[in-house]
């Protein structure tokens, strides 16, 4: 499955766009200046994303990739 397909599936399931996830990450302190906050462990972020949005591990990791700067249209 392509990265874009992951992001499209996440949006269909949650109703949240990539920008919504970026805003969520900033609110939670997961990002600083649009980069991952090195003080927050990735697996802690994944756990929160899974809990808050009802996503599985793979989809939560795709959100992390999005937060790292990967573009939805990249493969």
pTM: 0.93
Secondary structure percentages of the chain, helix, strand, coil, to 5 = 65, 5, 30
Helices (H), 29-56: 42-53
Q: How far is CA 63 from the centre of its chain?
A: 2
Per-residue pLDDT in tens (0 to 9) along the chain, 75 residues: 789 998 999 999 999 999 999 999 999 999 999 999 999 999 999 999 999 999 999 999 999 999 999 998 866
> Three-class SS of residue 72?
coil
């Amino acid at each position: 499955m392509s990265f874009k397909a992951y992001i499209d599936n996440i949006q269909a399931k949650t109703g949240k766009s990539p920008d919504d996830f970026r805003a969520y990450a900033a609110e939670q302190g997961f990002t600083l200046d649009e980069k991952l906050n090195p003080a927050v462990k990735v697996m802690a972020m994944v756990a929160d994303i899974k809990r808050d949005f009802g996503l599985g591990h793979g989809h939560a990791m795709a959100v992390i990739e999005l937060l790292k700067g990967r573009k939805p249209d990249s493969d």
